[in-house]
Amino acid sequence: MTEEMPSLRCIIATLFFALLLPPGSFPATTLSPSFYDETCPTVFSIIRGIIEQALLSDPRIGASLLRLHFHDCFVNGCDASILLDNSATIESEKEAAPNNNSTRGFEVVDAMKIALEFECPGIVSCADILAIAAQEAVNLAGGPSWLVLLGRRDSTAANRTLANLAIPAPFETLDVLKSKFAAVGLNTSTDLVALSGAHTFGRAQCTIVIERLYNFNGTGKADPTLNATYLETLRKVCPQGGNGSVLLNLDPTTPNTFDSNYYTNLQAQEGLLQSDQELFSTSGADTIEIVERFSSNQIAFFESFVVSMLKMGNISPVTGTEGEIRLSCRRVNMDYTSSNKWSSS
């Protein structure tokens, strides 16, 4: 089988599964995979090329870009609000607890925007850049490709308060995770398990898991769902009182590859994050069967991941005449224009 076949199968699956979805599963928007065919036909190659270049020095950048899209979509929809810096009118989501000193890749998104403004000025939104970058990052790591629906516009506001409340956290129980997925219109079984599979690549800091290793839920002991051998390995890397910024692989087997090993790890009680292990170790959960299925059938995982990514990417998009196409992903156009006028004067 050629390398192109898995991507082709998932593109076909995108269309097939979309036809199977009941009415209302996708919001009625103007999003389309051909949105930039005439106005910016090189958008995909430009974004892919910048990711390829960034991967040469930063193997975790793909996972970081995918995470930006996730965290953006869970807060008032996929509108690039996560990219806005603090200003006189903006309280940035970057400083919300789930994002502060955690989300990254903003400079790579800046590079994409600069290149696209040179090639197609005023055309490609920052929200669509995140959606395309997520797809390209997954594919470059060995995962599926899909027809990204495009035509989002950018928000002119951010919501740090909602970011603190809505984004799923690594220390949450299955019930809490389900409630957060349901709140944005994603289902609490397949969407939850498939999208959690994004943790098949990337890294997490020791500070995220330290309580789980030494004082789980205030017990003074480790999380009992952790494999004992894996626990000792983690404790060597993350000792009590150690450097909390040390990085751990989310997938200890294939840390830079997008594959189904994430689910095999959960079966072995080697999920790095509590929120991951909850999918398999919560007694009687409907997610257990899905973890088992994805572990044994990578194609099933890829196909479900594609459909769930399409659903997530369609959470409350800004379209039509709403919002704007930002000139800089970090600032709304009013602030950007004012800053440039001041600089010129």
Query: Stretch 14-42: mean pLDDT, rounded?
Result: 69
Query: What's the Cα-to-Cα distance from 2 to each of 141, 202, 259, rounded to whole Å?
Result: 16, 26, 17
Q: For the segment 315-338, what is each residue's pLDDT rounded down to a tens digit?
A: 999 999 999 999 999 999 997 666
Closest CA to 251 of 261, 241, 238: 261
Q: How far is CA 35 from CA 32, 79, 128, in A?
A: 5, 16, 10
Unique residue bearing structure tokens 């009590």:
240
What Cα–Cα distance (Å) separates residue 242 from each residue in 199, 236, 246, 325?
24, 10, 9, 44
Structure tokens at 176: 């809490």
Catalytic residue among 71, 152, 160, 311: 71
- Give me the pLDDT at residue 2, please: 39
**CA dist list (Å): 226 to 159, 274, 316:** 35, 9, 37
Q: How far is Cα 263 from Cα 197, in angstroms, rounded to an integer?
A: 7
Q: Which residue has the tokens 């910016």?
A: 40
For 14, 208, 209, 273, the CA distances from 249, given in Å and listed in that order, are 29, 12, 12, 11
Helix segments in the chain, DSSP class H: 4-20, 43-55, 61-73, 106-119, 126-140, 160-166, 174-183, 190-196, 206-214, 228-237, 261-267, 274-281, 287-296, 298-313, 333-344
Identify the burial level of 341 via C-beta atoms within 10 angstroms of its C-beta, where 0-12 means exposed, 13-18 middle and 19 or more buried.
Answer: exposed
**pLDDT category of residue 28 using cuts at 50, 70 and 90:** very low
CA distance 237 to 253: 16
Average pLDDT on 266-287 reads 98
254 is in an annotated binding site: yes
Q: Is 110 annotated as a binding residue?
A: no
Residue 69 designated active-site: no
Alpha-carbon separation of residue 205 from 88, 103, 170, 276, 315 (angstroms): 32, 11, 11, 15, 29
The model carries a pTM of 0.91
* pLDDT per position as a tens digit, 164-186: 999 999 999 999 999 999 999 99
pLDDT value of residue 341: 47
* pLDDT, tens digit (0-9, with 9 covering 90-100), for 233-267: 999 999 999 999 999 999 999 999 999 999 999 99
Is 319 annotated in some ligand binding site?
no
Task: Find all residues with CB under 8 Å of 45, minimum gap 6, and list them.
Answer: none
Q: Does 81 appear as a known binding residue?
A: yes
SS3 319: coil
The Cα diameter of the chain in Å comes to: 66
pLDDT, mean of residues 57-61: 97
How large is the C-alpha radius of gyration of the chain?
Answer: 20
Percentage of residues in the chain having pLDDT higher than 90 = 88
Q: Would you state the structure tokens that stand for residue 100, as one six-digit string? A: 């502060």
Say whether 154 counts as a known binding-site residue. Answer: no
Is position 259 annotated in a ligand binding site? yes
Q: Helix (H, G, I), strand (E, B), or coil: what is residue 150?
A: strand
| CA atoms of 276 and 258, how far apart (whole Å) | 16
Can you give 264-302 as a three-state secondary structure string? HHHHCCCCCCHHHHHHHHCCCCCHHHHHHHHHHCHHHHH
Question: Is 77 labeled as ligand-binding?
Answer: yes
